[in-house]
Structure formats: C-alpha cells, structure tokens
Amino acid sequence: MQQGTHFRYLFGNVFFRGKIVCKSGLHIGGSSDVLEIGGIDSFVIRNPVTNEPYIPGSSLKGKLRSTVEKIVTVDGVPLMANRKSDKDGKVWRHECDDFTNAKDCPLCRIFGASGKESKNNNYPTALLFRDGKLANPEKLKDEGMPIFEAKTENTLDRLTSAAHPRTIERVPAGAEFDFEMVYRVEMLGKVGEDTAEKLKSPVFPNLQEDISNILKAMSILEHDGLGGNISRGYGQIQFDIDFIKGLRSDGSEIVKIEKPEPEEPVKVGQGIQLLPDFAKGFADNYKNGGRNETRQAEV
C-alpha cells in the first residue's frame, strides 16, 4: 500500500474475537423517524434490517482510542499534553501531523493519523473494528427479557423543584454482542530502499507494545464504560474473549491464545499475561514457518 514515499508490507493479522457482555443497561444513541408526545427521548441505535441493537465499530474504536491516548507517553510526556483542536476548536485530541511522526507514535500507529501537514501522506489505521451484532436475542426472549428497556429519569431544579423528566431507551443487562478487531502486522518501508533483507528476516518491534496498549485500554474500559450516561450507571461491560489469533497474510495460523473450555472465556487480564509469549511465538513461528499454540493461563 503506497503512502506517498512510503509503503506498508503486510505480513499478517492478529484477530481478537469474542463477546461484549452488558453488565448494566447500554445506551448508544441512534435516531427515530417517529416523534411521540410522552415517548422516548433518546433511542438506541438499531440495525435497519433486523431492528435489533448493535454496537457500531466506530463507538468501540473511539472509546479505545481516547483511552489509549490517556495512558501512553512519548519521551516521558503524556500524549494528552500534546492535543490539538479541530478547525472549529470544539474537539481536542492528539494526532500526528505527518507520516514520519505517526509511525513512531504509540497512538497513531494503531489508530491512524491524517494530520494537517500530512500532504496526502496519511498514516492509515492498523486496527480495524467490526460492528457488533446482538449475539443472544433468542436467549433474552426465552428468559422473558426485553431486547430494549425504557428508563425514565428526572432532573429537578434545585431552587424551584421544577421537574424535567426524560425517557431513555437502552439495551438491558445480560445482552451480549459479538466483537471482532483485526490488527495488521506490517513492515514500513520507503520507496527506493532495499527491503529484500528485511523481508527475509522480519522483526516486529511494535507488535507486543501495540497489542498490550489495546488490551490495557480494554481492561480500563471494563472499569469505565461504553456508550452514553456512564456516570449514571449505564454502559458497564465485560469482554469475554474467545481467542486472540495470529495469522500470516495467506491465512495460515501462527500462534493463538484461546479459551480451554467452551464455557470459560479468556479474560482481558489473562490476555495481557500471555502477551509476551504470544508476541514471541508470532515472530519465531513466522520466520521458521511453524505454529505455536499458547493456551489460557491459570490465574
């Protein structure tokens, strides 16, 4: 893939797959074509075909990106201290201005950058997010649980006691959504450079750090929340990981962290513990053409 004077050679991918389990009601806002007096004020986003709720990949990406931005540093300086605003001055976030800076930035090399000085030499994201569909609608129905619930809240004026009621739609606790993320394992090169030797003996210097930051952000998200109204009890979630799997670009498997039993998912903390072996297994087995399976650790 050409990026001005640079290119990115794809060696393989790391797949994260599992479930997002709602521990409390989840609200990711959508829109409705129907306006009703006394009706719901804020609707949950729905799949237009199935009318079921889903988690947009953009929502998960935005939350994980902002979380990684809060925990990483460059030369000892937090990235949060180097944020810039958009042209309207309303949105502030860190984003490298060019390809050269982005490739060494622990945030932008994961989530991409299209800074003001990039001159069409943007740094595309290395981490892809899929929309998460509702995974257990039949189970919810069988247990007599609704797919949607309406939560009525009230704001009171502290001086006049005037009430301002509102009704917010949300997905109830117990709902589960599929989640999948794909991290591209790539080598950066420059047009005109001799890259033959790099291709023969590839190294993946950022693999462990990048996946570690992703997993750390997922862990923090479990203690924070997803969607809106988190401060009022909404959005508590848990990641139940089926597997983290490394594949070559031809689709053959290199290394894998997976749950040992069907009913026992891998937790985020366990993935962090096994990450050094996973990263080493990816590098070693990519070079020798083998496969190494890293199973869930006992914790």
Segment 167-178 mean pLDDT = 93
147-to-52, 226, 238 alpha-carbon distances in Å: 8, 18, 18
The answer to whether residue 167 sits within a structural domain is no
The answer to whether residue 230 sits within a structural domain is yes
User: What are the structure tokens assigned to 44, written together?
Assistant: 């949950």
Please say if the pLDDT value at position 295 is more than 50.
no
User: Would you say 29 and 201 are in contact if contact means Cβ atoms under 8 Å apart?
Assistant: no
The answer to whether residue 64 sits within a structural domain is yes
pLDDT at residue 116 in the model: 64
The answer to whether residue 264 sits within a structural domain is yes
pLDDT at residue 154 in the model: 78
The answer to whether residue 161 sits within a structural domain is no
pLDDT at residue 2 in the model: 42
Higher pLDDT, 127 or 158: 127
Q: State the chain's mean pLDDT as an integer.
A: 84
The answer to whether residue 179 sits within a structural domain is yes
- Residue 177, domain extent: 2-139+172-295
Confidence of residue 278 (pLDDT cuts 50, 70, 90): very high
User: In angstroms, how far is CA 109 from the centroid of its own chain?
Assistant: 14
Segment 102-119 mean pLDDT = 80
pLDDT at residue 212 in the model: 96
Please say if the pLDDT value at position 193 is more than 60.
yes
Its sign, for the CA torsion 262, 267, 273, 275, is: positive
Confidence of residue 155 (pLDDT cuts 50, 70, 90): confident
* DSSP reduced 3-state for 78: strand
Maximum mean pLDDT: which of 109-123, 174-188, 254-268: 174-188
User: Which of the residue ranges 26-40, 198-212, 241-255 would you say has the lowest mean pLDDT?
Assistant: 26-40
Segment 260-274 mean pLDDT = 86
Please say if the pLDDT value at position 164 is more than 50.
yes
- Amino acid found at 49: V
pLDDT at residue 179 in the model: 95
Q: Which helix (H) or strand (E) holds 132?
A: strand 132-133
Maximum mean pLDDT: which of 96-110, 183-197, 225-239: 225-239
**What is the number of structural domains in the chain?**
1
pLDDT at residue 176 in the model: 96
pLDDT at residue 56 in the model: 96
The answer to whether residue 53 sits within a structural domain is yes
- Nearest Cα residue to 185 out of 295, 110, 285: 110
